[in-house]
Structure 1
Amino acid sequence: MDLGHDQSHKEENENIETDTEQKGSVDRPGRQFYIPSQIVDEFGEKGRDHLNKPFRAQFLLALTAGSFMTFGAIFSILLASGVETKGIYHLLSGLGFAAGYAMVFISGAVLFTEINVLLPSYLFNKAGLMKANIYKFWASTYIGNLLGAFIVAGLIQLSGSLSSSFYPELSIYLDHKMKFMDHGVAGWFQILVSGILANWLIGMAAFLTTSARDITGKILGTMLPVILFVAGNFQHSAANMGYFSMGFLATDKYTWYEYIFFNLLPASIGNLIGGAILVSLLFSYAYKEDIQTLGK
């Protein structure tokens, strides 16, 4: 009887301690996800972590992220090849590209469109706008992504691994991306707006991925917005780097300056606006007081 009473008393004390810990740990609740203010605060911390890395690490991680974009582009085409039902075609294509993004987010690689969310969060919440090294990092990330995408495209071409049926499918994707050229100046601004939408969605992919506290949640959080932006043909500069790198080496249908000036340039401007304003600034302002409380 005494042993049973002691055991019951011990369990009661453990329950009281657990309840006390849960009540006291407001910043780390016992959930399987982080709340929005914690996510935005984490964005700022991740932005600062990227900036504190040596330049060689920053650039290597940017090269790696660009490489994953080409792998994602290849996989998106391979998965959807030969599928005629539009809904399934878009789903498979998006799932293929989500593999590239999952590798970026989980490995800590530095992607231009992701730092369009992370660095503004750092600027708005932790630093201030006058940080010259931030803008240098932004530029080097873009160049690193483009170079990484091109290097992997070259290696894939040299390997001869892809079948001849792959290249007509690639041509369809390129035409889909470059169709705005036919609209002249209006098409350039259409790409810009499309780029805003694309990075809004990729910002939300980063949002959902950061929210998740396990690997399964992070992959699922990445997949949903990526499938949506691929299906909608929203112009995402880093993703297009993967497609265009393969296109530049495999076909002469479009020139390098057409890829850059009639797609990547306006898409990149739109990506900056979409990530910085519609994700980082919007949530930073909405949860300003909560974020300040977390920092105390």
Structure 2
Amino acid sequence: MTSETENRLSPASEMTDLNEGEKRAVDHQSRPSAALIHETIRAEGERELERTSVALMLSGFAAGLSIGFSVVVPAILMVALPDVSWKHLLTSLGYTIGFLIVVLGRQQLFTENTLTPVLPLLKNRNLHHLAQVGRLWSVVLLSNIAATWVFSAVLAHTPVFDQEIRTAIAAYSHTALDSDFWPMFLKAVFAGWLIALMVWLMPAAGDARPFVIIIVTYVVALAHLAHIIAGSVEASFLVHVGEASFADYLFRFFVPTLLGNTIGGVALVACLNFGQVAPELEER
């Protein structure tokens, strides 16, 4: 963004009775406008769309591996904690670990990309940007999913964790397959909505970004919502240990969750938040 645009977005720019130091203090204390948040995320989306497929694939594979800890840590907590009624309140905190690694490590996660690269597409509605978004989504999703199958295979077929923890992983993972198509789809819509909202909140969060990640993903875990990448670790683990078939993975988990996450992120966050700032952006 140009300095002229930044000044127009500044709440102190219209306060002519303040000196420069006071204007800077007002800007520091004020919340960023929706337009500024939009433009920050859109600029990041433009950069992501320009990355090479190899870079996106490696980043996406790293994210798929990292998100595996959102399954491992809750299972470890399940084994360590006593069997009490509030146990799920603490085990759900473990779900946030993988997302902290992925988001703070700037790794490519498909559900984040239902917002970030979509904003440039909404601003520049042409075939070039549509093709760029399609390329990014395809590369990131495939690399994410491949990594989750590798991670779950290691969990299932190596002694990296003892049998007690592997049993807990299986018990925890059954939530990924315990719903029919439409309930799973609706759970995925809410999860996609929350993860995209988390991305929207990040530019204004500053040093509080880890807390935003923890709070939002904790809600996803607590409500047993469906996330396409974290859930893929769970569902593929059950396939590896023989407690589910590949058809279960594909039709009970993957298809409804992918559709729901995409609609939740694109329609409920990207389009709505673009809509609220579009008139303001067109005036500039």
**TM-score of the two chains, using structure 1 as the length reference:** 0.81
Match for 2:223 among 232, 253, 256? 232
Q: Which structure has the greater CA radius of gyration?
A: 1
Determine whether 1:51 maps to 2:49.
Answer: yes
Of 236, 240, 250, 1:245 maps to 236
| Residue aligning to 1:274 | 264
Pair 64,247 (structure 1): closer, same or farther in 2 beyond 3 Å: same
Task: Give the 3-state SS of the residue equivalent to 1:53 in structure 2.
Answer: coil
Contact map agreement 2:96 2:213 (CA 8 A) in 1: yes
47 and 87 in structure 1: CA distance in 2 versus 1, 3 angstrom threshold = farther
Give the counterpart letter for 2:60 in structure 1. Answer: A
In the alignment of these two chains, the number of paired residues is 264
Is the alpha carbon distance of 1:19 and 1:129 closer, same or farther for their aligned partners in structure 2, counting shifts above 3 Å? same
Alignment of 1:124-203 (within 5 A): 124-125=122-123, 127-130=124-127, 131-157=130-156, 160-180=159-179, 187-203=180-196
Deviation by residue 1:139-182 (Cα, 9 ceiling, x = unmatched): 111110011122233344565221211122222223222122xx
Query: What does the per-residue CA deviation read over 1:11-37, in whole Å, with 9 as the maximum and x for residues that have no partner?
Result: xxxx944124456xxxxx314864433
Q: State whether residues 69 and 241 of structure 1, in contact with CA within 8 Å, keep that contact through their aligned partners in structure 2.
A: no
Cα displacement (A) at 1:256: 2.0
Deviations 1:167-203 (A, max 9, x none): 22222223222122xxxxxx21221111101111111
User: Identity, % of aligned pairs?
Assistant: 17
| 2-structure distance, mates of 1:248, 1:273 | 27
**TM-score normalised to the size of structure 2?**
0.84
**Does the 8 Å contact 2:71/2:169 carry over to 1?**
no
Change (3 A) 1:55 1:239: same
Aligned AA (1:266): P
State the AA in 2 paired with 1:148: A
Q: SS in structure 1 opposite 2:242?
A: coil
Unaligned runs of 5+ in 1: 1-14, 24-28, 181-186
Structure 2 partner of 1:11: none
How many Å separate the matches in 1 of 2:29 and 2:270?
24
Match of 1:207 among 181, 200, 214: 200
Root mean square deviation of aligned Cα = 2.2
How far did residue 240 of structure 1 move? 0.5
Structure 1 residues 231, 58: CA separation in 2 closer, same or farther (over 3 Å shift)?
same
Q: 1:133 to 1:212 in 2, by over 3 A?
A: same
**How many Å separate the matches in 2 of 1:205 and 1:163?**
34
- Alpha-carbon displacement from aligned partner over 1:180-230 (angstroms, at most 9, x marks no partner): 2xxxxxx2122111110111111122223332112xx11100011111111
1:69/1:238 contact within 8 Å kept: yes
